[in-house]
Amino acid sequence: MVTRFNVISVFDPWKSPLCTCPRKYSLHPYTGCSHFCLYCYATSYIGRKPSTPKKHFLERLRRDLGRINPLLPVEMSTSSDPYPPLEEWVLLTRKTLQLLAENCLQVLITTKSDIVFRDADLLLETPSAVMITITTIDDELAKRLEPGAPSPSRRIKALEKLAGKGIPVGVRIDPVIPGLNDDPNMLRELIDRIADAGAQHIVTSTYKARWDNYKRMINGFPDKKELWEKLYREEGVRIHGYIYLREETRRKLLKPIIQHALEKGLTAATCREGLGPEYFKAPSCDGTHLIRKHPKYGECRARISRGVKRLF
């Protein structure tokens, strides 16, 4: 019998055969996303709309917490950022973290926002890790590509502050877009900066086109139209609902990132690329392995494994 939840779901990205994520839950306090990234894939099924708190979210979450497997990590969030601008005063993600921490649950935060540092106190109370997406070190390029998100420099600063608190952190260099943020020298500089800030892991992937985000990308960067038409529409390969770059191109774009990350002592992996073990040098792609480095990890695992009554 399949357990049905209210707001938590088992992460399953459309049953993609290329997904290498470990088993985990996905949790989205908000629907929509006010960061309005041009390349966003989620808009193809939820539309392009600002972040909106889900109705009765916390009450529904409380019901779910009594039915989930407490040994599995909970990721916020895989499509709608848990830290949109309105989270500063709505506090829905913070209240969600309070519930998860009360239950000693493992938490993986994936975000483009520096607001996450505000919740460092809660992240220290439960096994957790934070993955911050940084696609470029160029603030001006990021402003065009991710118009509603904080600048890369603010994200790197948040990364440094979280690491300084002892919270395990990593970075998603995702997506890598041909002709836009793929310069190997700039990527190496980005890796140097995030390694110096305290990152322990990098996951990376290439831009995968869908009908709506591809149109936005062309409108946003018309000078790249000819290049992208060739790489995606003429040479691209359809894989599980996306148009991928051909494999040779993807290997060329991602190899410098993996190599330099390893040189800097970071773990590194690709996301839904299917490129083989030489592109997967980490215990997990998504950063869930970082949770094991959290000071509360052993304590919470032991508590849950003993069947200690959880608080709700």
At 24, which CATH number?
Answer: 3.80.30.30
Mean of the pLDDT values across residues 188-192?
98
Mean of the pLDDT values across residues 184-203?
98
Query: Could you tell me which of 22, 20, 33, 213 has the C-alpha nearest to residue 111?
Result: 33
Structurally, the chain folds into a number of domains equal to 1
Q: How confident is the model at residue 13 (pLDDT cuts 50, 70, 90)?
A: low
47 part of a folded domain = yes
Q: How confident is the model at residue 23 (pLDDT cuts 50, 70, 90)?
A: very high
Structure confidence by residue, pLDDT tens digits, 70-94: 999 999 998 899 999 999 999 999 9
Distances from the Cα of 77 to the Cαs of 24, 25, 182, 204, 255, in angstroms?
Answer: 12, 10, 25, 17, 27
259 part of a folded domain = yes
The whole-angstrom separation of Cα 76 and Cα 108 is 6
Q: Is the pLDDT of residue 309 over 80?
A: no
163 part of a folded domain = yes
311 part of a folded domain = no
Structure confidence by residue, pLDDT tens digits, 210-234: 999 999 999 999 999 999 999 999 9
Q: Is the pLDDT of residue 131 over 80?
A: yes
Beta strand pairing call for 237-239 and 242-244: antiparallel
- Domain extent for 33: 8-305
105 part of a folded domain = yes
Structure confidence by residue, pLDDT tens digits, 36-56: 999 998 887 778 999 999 999
Q: Is the pLDDT of residue 107 over 70?
A: yes
Query: Could you give the strand order of the β-sheet that contains 169-176, starting from the edge strand earlier in sequence?
Result: 8-10, 25-27, 74-76, 107-111, 128-133, 169-176, 201-206, 267-270, 280-281
Q: Is the pLDDT of residue 109 over 90?
A: yes
Token pair of 23, please?
């088993």
Q: How confident is the model at residue 155 (pLDDT cuts 50, 70, 90)?
A: very high
8 A C-beta contact, residue 218 and residue 225: yes
Mean of the pLDDT values across residues 296-309?
84
Mean of the per-residue pLDDT values of the chain: 94
Structure confidence by residue, pLDDT tens digits, 235-269: 999 998 899 999 999 999 999 999 999 999 999 99
* pLDDT given at position 78: 87
Q: Is the pLDDT of residue 1 over 60?
A: no
Mean of the pLDDT values across residues 110-135?
98
The whole-angstrom separation of Cα 8 and Cα 279 is 31
* pLDDT given at position 14: 58
Which of the two residues, 311 and 296, has the higher pLDDT score?
A: 296
141 part of a folded domain = yes
Stated pTM of the model? 0.95
* pLDDT given at position 305: 86
1 part of a folded domain = no
* pLDDT given at position 270: 98
Mean of the pLDDT values across residues 171-197?
98
Q: Is the pLDDT of residue 20 over 60?
A: yes
* pLDDT given at position 310: 43
* pLDDT given at position 196: 98
144 part of a folded domain = yes
